[in-house]
């Protein structure tokens, strides 16, 4: 019985890979199944396109509308209330994702060149409120490099929460008094 099952399976595989009309038909059928299932395997929008509104989020104008299907296509957005955009950075020659820099039970500041006022503001807020706030400088001469300039093109500074969303983001040079006003 086992030998017969093996023989049939082996014959089906040989037919699948054969340069014959039958093999081509089988390959087309498998490709159609994979194409139909693509949204279940690659629905990155479901995982990455969350957007939040609450009193803990400092609004910066209206949230941009989705351009593509919001469940299927991941659409990174550097806006308060959105998940921190995933951008590949470099640190000591290895790739590091912005997603891996934030969360982990603490607040995180991602800032670029000229982010010294932000660093000082989160230091003060962290001391006053007893919060651990990680800080990562991104750009030339900083802790991490942005080789594709994706993050630099998106914004100047992001404050990420332990849940990896961004209650505050700024597209202009730092004004640390904005962050410390409500502390």
Find where tokens 């929008």 sit: 45
Are residues 83 and 135 located together in one domain of the fold? yes
* Domain annotation covers residue 31: yes
pTM metric for this prediction: 0.61
Are residues 139 and 157 located together in one domain of the fold? yes
**Could you give the percent of the chain with pLDDT greater than 70?**
81
Question: What integer pLDDT is reported at residue 181 of this predicted model?
Answer: 44
Query: Minimal CA–CA distance to 165: which of 48, 21, 64, 19?
Result: 48
| Total domain count, the chain | 2
Are residues 7 and 90 located together in one domain of the fold? no
Q: Kindly provide the b/e burial profile for residues 30-54, where b requires at least 16 CB atoms within 10 angstroms of the residue's own CB.
A: eeeeeeeeeeeeebebeebbebbee
pLDDT tens track for 90-109: 999 999 998 889 888 888 88
Question: Which domain does 27 fall in, by range?
Answer: 2-41
Q: Please give the residue that has the higher pLDDT: either 100 or 45.
A: 100
Give the integer Cα–Cα distance in Å for 48 and 51.
9
């Amino acid at each position: 019985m086992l030998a017969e099952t093996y023989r049939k399976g082996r014959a089906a595989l040989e037919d699948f890979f054969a340069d014959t009309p039958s093999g081509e038909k089988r390959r087309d059928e498998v490709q159609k199944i994979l194409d139909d299932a693509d949204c279940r395997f690659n629905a990155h929008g479901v995982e990455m396109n969350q957007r939040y509104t609450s009193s803990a989020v400092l609004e910066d104008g209206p949230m941009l509308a989705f351009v593509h299907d919001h469940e299927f296509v991941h659409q990174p957005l550097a806006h308060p209330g959105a998940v921190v955009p995933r951008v590949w950075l470099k640190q000591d020659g290895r790739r590091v994702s912005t997603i891996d820099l934030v969360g982990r039970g603490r607040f995180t500041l991602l800032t670029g060149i000229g982010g010294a006022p932000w660093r000082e503001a989160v230091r003060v807020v962290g001391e006053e409120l007893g919060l651990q706030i990680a800080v990562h400088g991104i750009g030339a001469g900083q802790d991490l490099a942005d080789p594709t300039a994706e993050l630099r093109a998106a914004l100047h500074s992001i404050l990420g929460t332990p849940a990896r969303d961004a209650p505050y983001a700024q597209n202009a040079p730092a004004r640390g008094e904005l962050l410390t006003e409500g502390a």
